[in-house]
Amino acid sequence: MEETKEQQRMLSILQLIIYFSVLIELFVFSYSSTGLPAGALQNMLGALHEKIALLPVYGSIYYSKLFTLSLISLASIGTRSKKQRDLNVKTQILLPLLFGLVVMLCSTSSYHRASEGPAGIFQLETTADLLLAGYYLSAIIGAVLVHLAMDNISKLISSKLGKDKWNVEGESFMQQTRCTSGPHSVNIPTQFYYKGRVRDGWINITNIFRALLVIGVPGSGKTFGIINPAIRQLIAKEFCACIYDYKHPDLGLIAYHHYRLAQARGKCARHSFHVINLNDLEHSRRINPWRPEYLTTLAEASESAEALVEALKKGDKSGGADQFFTQSAINFLAACIYFFARHEDGRYSSFPHVLSFLNCTYEDIFNTLFSVPELVPLLSPFKTAFHTKAFNQLEGQIGTLKIFISRLATKETYWVFSGDDFDLKISSKANPAIMVLANDPSTQSINSACYSVIVNRLCKLMNSKGNLPSAIIVDEVPTLYIHKIENLIAVARSNKVGIILGLQELPQFRQQYGKDTAATITSVIGNVLSGAARHKETLDWLERLFGKVKQQSESVSIDRNKTSVSISEKLEPLVPAGKIASLKTGEIAGILASDPLDNYDGKFETSAVNCKVNLDHKLIEREQQQYAPLPRYYDFGEHKEAILIENFNRINDQVRQVVNSHSPGPH
């Protein structure tokens, strides 16, 4: 608000009164008639002195100083000086104010010492006179300094403008400070900033069955801060688990250590521990995900075939002519799978037998498949081409599938998938288990396609009623294709299946799973936690997911005559994209699924978090020193290569016998 001329005139008068009061003080406390000629002037000054001295404010020099300070304060409060953005509070307010008060205090000391001698206002003959002169000077200088400092206070801009450069205060919010633990929860200790201080808090994922998506670029701390604690806690709560260990044995060692720890505490008594490892067969169980009881209908065989083909294609949803050839490959593979599931009651129903069968000639393959009437309608697109010997047409329809499949036909794959060491339904009450799928970045492509066969069957077995609580934990999920995982997430809560997926960026996820599947998964997931991310699509999605909050904003306008400060409220992102991109290692922003309240009050409280994971690093280091080697299941001795080759040849011979039994002509 601009000052009027009348206000300016009144303030000028008030400032004059300040210094006039200082002069009156000097007159009252240092007046002496000695040295004045007798007469009217002496009488007049004496009478004036007596009357002024009767005023309460001049009853003591301390009262006089307080009166002067009161006048200075009154004048400073009323003034409207031009604001200064770069005003230095220390040098322009605090130091002058402190020095001025000290000088005023010194003036009272000089007065008391001078009053002990016979000095007067008109005499300068003794040391007391010098002290009195010092009193005059210090009284005036002190008043000027205090007035200057107090006047500068009015030049301060009463605004937070520029003080919270990164809007830390505006974007901070209260988070959970209590650990809400339950039989199906994951609770991670954190630290967060709110109202000027760092507080201890918790990330309470109270219902892991609503799924968890963990996002973060390499080095953001998503595995160490979120996935590793989840593995520890879920095993301690006797969950069955399938853990995909992309950089084996990182997650496998944690899982095995806590499995042994749980057993030592009397938990997981009936659980068993299994590792599937295509790179280290001594430390790998054998499993058959295509057992005949899993493939009782052609529809189930088609589902298994589709899962494998999509895994080989990395989820690419093609259309048009490409879709025709993809579906042809699925039908062809489904027929092969179903044939072995039904032949001799499924005696040769296994993944390696199908791989070996696909490496036979087209004539052998189709002669064998056409011997089953149930498969003829499924193979009708191939029938004409086969009978007319149009092998080029057949090559176009299924040649790509055979090329991809042939990469999987290794002696290691044949060994692991030709046995059956444990029940793949790891969440069953009869045979609960913890299973680790060990991958290696150097052999990722082949291993992931093979593991997708296991995970596809595993999901179907676990996602049913009457099972124990279980979890599927997949770090670096784009490296493993899980067929129709969006359907599993949608119904997993009712079947007590918790799903934890870790990835780096949404475009990477979309590239491997397809645009539609990735969009569906991100829309049905209940809990989302993110470390630092970089891609615009990921950042925009997270920013919108966290929502907005009302934040105060200030604007300051300064001109020659006045300064105005305006305050407004506006909905701004709770956690902006730029802040997500710049999160440090271990810092997490996310939103959690909320359970229903017992007493609904209609008030909204965000379930978002913006914090730093606060794990006990020394405790984790001690734990790592206690890790035991993963169990060894097979001992090949010096005959490993011979055993693998023998198994490889045995399966090929069995397939050759089946083909020969269905070939035309004498056998």
What's the pLDDT tens digit per position in 372-414?
999 988 888 888 777 777 767 677 768 878 888 888 999 999 9
> The tokens of 2 are what?
């601009």
Would you give the DSSP letter of residue 34?
T
Tell how strand 608-613 and strand 186-194 pair up: antiparallel
- CA 353, CA 371: separation in Å to the nearest integer? 18
The closest alpha carbon to 611, from 210, 188, 230, belongs to 188
Q: What is the CATH number of domain 161-253+436-598+607-623?
A: 3.40.50.300
Amino acid (1-letter code) at residue 522: T
pLDDT tens digit string along 553-608?
777 676 666 667 677 788 889 999 999 999 999 999 999 998 777 777 777 888 99
CA distance 249 to 258: 14
pLDDT of 362 reads 86
- Based on its alpha-carbon atoms, the radius of gyration of the chain, rounded to whole angstroms, reads 43
User: 578: Cβ–Cβ under 8 A, 6 or more apart, which residues?
Assistant: none
Number of other residues whose CB lies within 10 A of the CB of residue 601: 7
Phi, psi dihedral angles at 430 (to 5 degrees): -80, -40
More confident residue, 471 or 327: 471
HEC-encoded secondary structure of 413-471: HHHHHCCCCCCCCCCCCCCCEEEEEECCHHHHHHHHHHHHHHHHHHHHHHCCCCCCCEE
Region 628-634: mean pLDDT is 96
Provide the pLDDT for residue 160: 59
Q: Which residues contact 139 (CB under 8 A, 6 or more apart)?
A: 22, 25, 26, 104, 107
Nearest 10 degrees: CA dihedral of 480, 481, 484, 486?
50
Angle between helices 391-408 and 298-313 (to 10 degrees): 80
In the DSSP assignment, the letter for residue 183 is: T
| pLDDT over 70 (residue 82) | no
Q: What's the whole-number mean pLDDT along residues 640-649?
A: 96
The reported pLDDT for the residue numbered 511 is 87
Distance separating alpha carbons of residues 226 and 113, to the nearest angstrom = 75
Over the stretch 95-132, which tens digit does the pLDDT of each residue have?
A: 888 988 888 888 887 777 766 654 444 444 556 667 77
Q: Please, which residues bridge with residue 212 across strands?
A: 500, 527
The percent helix, strand, coil of the chain (3-state, each to 5) is 55, 15, 35
DSSP letter at 599?
A: S
Lowest mean pLDDT among 23-32, 346-355, 415-424, 643-652: 23-32
- The SS3 call for residue 590 is strand
Give 194's strand partners. Answer: 197
Phi, psi of 199 (to 5 degrees): -120, 155
CA pair distance 316, 254, nearest whole angstrom: 34
Closest C-alpha among 660, 655, 1, 22 to residue 336: 655
Phi-psi region of 205 (alpha: psi -120 to 50; beta: other; left: phi over 0): beta
User: 203 near 611, Cβ under 8 Å?
Assistant: yes
Annotated domain spans of the chain: 5-153, 161-253+436-598+607-623, 288-420+635-667
Answer yes or no: are the C-beta atoms of 286 and 417 closer than 8 Å: yes
CA angle, corner 591, sides to 164 and 526, nearest 5? 170
| Res. 87 pLDDT band, cuts 50 70 90 | confident
Confidence of residue 425 (pLDDT cuts 50, 70, 90): very high
Q: Are strands 527-530 and 587-591 parallel, antiparallel or unpaired?
A: antiparallel
Strands (DSSP E) along 170-271, which ranges? 186-194, 197-205, 212-215, 240-245
